[in-house]
Each structure stands twice: as structure tokens, then as C-alpha cells.
Amino acid sequence: MKRILIAALVVTCTCATVSVAQEITGSIVGTVTDSSGAIISGALVTTTNTDKNVDVRTVTTNQNGYYVVTFLPIGHYAVRVEAKGFKSYTRTGITLNVNDQLTINAGLQPGDVKETVTVEADVTPIELQTATASGLITGAQIRELALNTRNYEQLVALTPGVSTGLASDQLYVGVTSPTGLSNQINFSINGNRPTQNNWSVDGADNVDRGANLTLLTYPSVDSIDEFRVIRGQYDAEYGRSSSGQINVITRSGTSVFHGNLYEFFRNDVLNANSFFNNRNLTPRPPLRYNDFGGTFGGPVFIPGHYNTDKKKTFFFFSEEVRRVITYKEFDPILPSQANVAGNFRTLVCVHHDPNSAAGNYQGGSHLQPEAGSDGAL
């Protein structure tokens, strides 16, 4: 019994390790020097999440003047560096995306530590820590670009090296589409098979491990902060699949309450009729597509103690509901008036002879030429 419990504990720990192995955060590293370029060891480096107004972590530079701050939630940051005998250095406007490893070096000037030198970060800092080939789709792109079915998958095609020859621009949400067919994620990344891609949400596996061609969950477009498509030279944490890695990160609450409500709709009144419907004088089929939803997020605080120091925990809620009513018009082949009267130009089955090797149909005496024909069968 003891051995069984130990084995179960080992398996549980192993599964837990696998489930959190995929990176959902970012890192900031750098070197602190003085005005002459000499390294400064023992400097205090504080990273502040400006979205939440919270100091996330404080580290100290090592003997080589180097510091590293790992596992930072994505968002906007400021880095403050302090050392005795030098002015404080603050770098603001740092945007940290998922899987980023930003290099933020600091050059301190002699002076009082109470004095501060503030530098605005570059809009697009150069990636110096990794050779990974990837493409980032930001939250603004996800929410502002037109998506016919409100499915973020369509934006994967914005990344270089992605082919969507088998993917539709009507990617629905769910394992099956309204037509009843499998709602497959046919994206080829760098020429690899679509079944070799790995999809995740906040580090959790999101692929139906049957055919590896459908997803398990579809976060609302308004609940996604960003996602990154990693195409190659990625770390061992992505070792399960050999092709692209689509890493989706959902939004978090900030230091202030914020929310929204929305409805997206389509209606046959706003649509044009199809060519074949117009040709056959068939009206537009009815269509009612309504997509309702909303989000709400903010800080969690103790009543009566609403101040900045107490804003340490945050929440974010998202809900989306779809209501779709649609019909499919078709052009059937109906019998003519002569057929209705029993007149046919070609032979039809009135009696089947099971003894015939060729399965001939008998009963030709019941066949008559169609009205208006020359009388030949």
C-alpha cells in the first residue's frame, strides 16, 4: 500500500511539472554600470508593474553587475536602480510580452540617491537573449481587427511562415462547425503539418489529443491579452510538438475597475443574395447571428481599506454567448408535369427481376412516351 501511495505521489508531481512547464510570463535582465562603464555590484533593482501599481520584485546585482528578474506577468513595467553614491535610475514605458527576455541596462551617474534620472524605454527593444523565431499578436490587434466569427485563430495567419490553404475564413468556435463537420485548425507553420502544432491557454494544453486538429476551449476575443506564435528555435519547454507553438495569455485585472459590454450581430437584411439564388429567383435565406458578451476586472480589496497598498490581488471575468439562426437554401430537381402524369422519356423501375444476372428491370409495358415526344422509348 505504501508503494502504491508513493507511486501515485510521483505521478502527480510529474503531471504537475508538465502542466506548468510552458512559459506564460517574461523576463528582464541587464547590467548596471557607472558613467565610465565600470560595473556596479550590490545595486538594488526594483521592477514595478505600472498597470497594477505594484512593486513585483527587488533583486541585487551580482559581482559582475548583472541582474535577472524572471517569471514576470506580462504587462507594462518600470525598472528602478539604486546604489550608494549614485543618482537613482528609472526606466519607464517597458512593455513585457509573453516569452520576452528583455535586456534593460542601466548607467548610473554620481550623485545623491535621492536624485533620479528617468529614461523612457524604446518602443521596440531589441531581443538579445534568444534566437527564437516568433510573432506576437497584441491585444489591440485581437480586439480591433475584423473577425467574422470572433475566433482568434484567424489571426495566426498574420504571422510570417503560416499557410492557411485548408483553413476557412469562417472559423467557428467549438469542436464542430454549424455544418456538422469537424472544426479543424488547419494551419501549416514553416511547412509542417497542422497536426504538429501545439496550442495552449495560460500554459495549459488546449488541443484535443485525438486527431490533434481541434481545440478544447475558445477564449473570448475580449478576454485575450495577447498570444505568440513561435515558429522555431524554441526552448525545450515546447518539446511535445515539432511545429508551431501558439501560446495564448488571457487578461488580468488592473489597479482600477474596468469593464465593457458588447453585441455583434449579422442579419439577412444586411446581406447580399448569392448568385445561384438570384438566378433561380430564390430569396435570401433568413439569418440571425447575435454575439453578446462583456468583461469586468479590477482589484480585490478589503472594505474600508481601499488604498493603493491593499491592491495586491486582482480579478478578471469574461462571458460570451452566441445565438445563431440560419437556413440553407437549396435548388432541388423536381419531377416535370409529364413525370407527374406517369410519362417518362427513359426507363424506370416498375418491377425488379432478382433472377436476372444483370438485374434487369421488367415491366416495360407500363412505360409510355412522355407527352410531346416522338413515341420512341
User: To 5 degrees, how large is the angle CA 302–CA 304–CA 308?
Assistant: 65
Write the DSSP string, 190-211.
Answer: TT--GGG-EEEETTEE-B-TTT
- Domain stop point among 120, 155, 170: 120
pLDDT of 279 higher than 70? yes
Residues 175 and 143 placed together within one structural domain of the fold:
yes
Total of domains in the chain: 4
Tell me how far apart the alpha carbons of residues 118 and 308 are, in angstroms, rounded to a whole number. Answer: 23
Residues 149 and 243 placed together within one structural domain of the fold:
yes
Return the DSSP state at 320: E
pLDDT of residue 237: 74
> Average model confidence (pLDDT) for the chain?
80
- Domain stop point among 250, 285, 306: 250
Residues 153 and 244 placed together within one structural domain of the fold:
yes
pLDDT of residue 18: 38
Contact between 200 and 246 under an 8 Å Cβ cutoff? The reply is yes
Tell me how far apart the alpha carbons of residues 367 and 377 are, in angstroms, rounded to a whole number. Answer: 8
Residues 346 and 314 placed together within one structural domain of the fold:
no
SS3 assignment, position 364:
helix
Is 351 a domain residue? Answer: yes
> How large a percentage of the chain has pLDDT more than 70?
77
Q: Which domain holds residue 354?
A: 333-377
Tell me how far apart the alpha carbons of residues 66 and 40 are, in angstroms, rounded to a whole number. Answer: 9
Residues 313 and 349 placed together within one structural domain of the fold:
no
> How large a percentage of the chain has pLDDT more than 90?
27
Is 225 a domain residue? Answer: yes
pTM of the model: 0.69
Residues 101 and 147 placed together within one structural domain of the fold:
no
Cell readout for 23 is: 512559459
Residues 298 and 232 placed together within one structural domain of the fold:
no
Is 217 a domain residue? Answer: yes
pLDDT of 129 higher than 80? no
pLDDT of residue 344: 74
Residues 46 and 113 placed together within one structural domain of the fold:
yes
pLDDT of residue 227: 92
Is 50 a domain residue? Answer: yes
CATH number at residue 36: 2.60.40.1120
Residues 35 and 70 placed together within one structural domain of the fold:
yes
pLDDT of residue 235: 75
- Domain stop point among 204, 231, 250: 250
Residues 109 and 36 placed together within one structural domain of the fold:
yes
Is 194 a domain residue? Answer: yes
pLDDT of residue 40: 92
Is 236 a domain residue? Answer: yes
Residues 156 and 263 placed together within one structural domain of the fold:
no
More confident residue, 300 or 61: 61
Is 313 a domain residue? Answer: yes
Contact between 91 and 104 under an 8 Å Cβ cutoff? The reply is yes
